[in-house]
Every structure is written in structure tokens, then in C-alpha cells.
Structure 1
Amino acid sequence: MTRNRRHYETILHSRFFIKSEKRTKDSFITKASIHSRRVTGRISTRNTRTQSEKLVARIRCCIEDD
């Protein structure tokens, strides 16, 4: 049960992460965008969004494995 609950919390977190990212769009700075800005000198919002999509895909994988 604790393992399932941990998965569920992760899903909720990722859902909120994507929602907040869409709501504030360019002004929303995540660790990924800060990192990309340090590397390229500008914020890459597309990079951030793909990383959140990857996170969701990985969570789905974990659930299917159970």
C-alpha cells in the first residue's frame, strides 16, 4: 500500500507540475529551464515541457509494471 501511495503522490506532483507550467508559460522557471539558460544563455521552455512529458511517461511505465 505504501508503494502505491508513493506512486500516487508522484502522479499528483507531476500533474500539478504540468498544470502550473502551462498556466504561467514563459514566466514559470523550473530547474530544467534554469539549467538550459545557464548552458545556452536563454530559457528554453520547450525543453522544460518535454522533460515533464518524459516524467509522466516514466511514471506510467512504473504503474504498468506493478
Structure 2
Amino acid sequence: MTRLTGTALGGCVLLHLLVFAAPVAAQLDTATVIGIVSDAQGAVIPGATVTAVNKNSGFVRATATD
């Protein structure tokens, strides 16, 4: 293998690593939920439990509001 062929092959491998690494990063399971928990009169309810459920995986996360 000549030096030019080796360099081209190395560049091609590097390009493939960069192109295929981006979709993997897009598959992270993170989220942020922002909102206000209030009663019918609009008063804030501190300490309310909020539960998020992923219907596909069945993952459940519950937390109390601050």
C-alpha cells in the first residue's frame, strides 16, 4: 500500500466515524419537564408529585415539585 492510499483510507475511516457517531448521540434518553402545578383557583401546589411515564419502555420517573 502506498503512502497516498494509506492516507486516503485513514481519512475515509475517520469520515465514517464522524458521520455515524452523530446518530448515536441523538439516541440519549434525557428530558426536562418545566411547568407549574396549580389548583383550580390558580394557587401553586408545593410538594405535588409529578410522574412521567415512557409508554414505549415502561420507564417511570416520579418527583416532587419545589
Which of these two proteins has the greater Rg computed from alpha carbons? 2
TM-score, normalising length from structure 1? Answer: 0.36
Q: Which has the higher strand share?
A: 2
**Higher RCO (CA-CA < 8 Å; seq separation 6+):** 1
* Higher share of residues assigned helix: 1
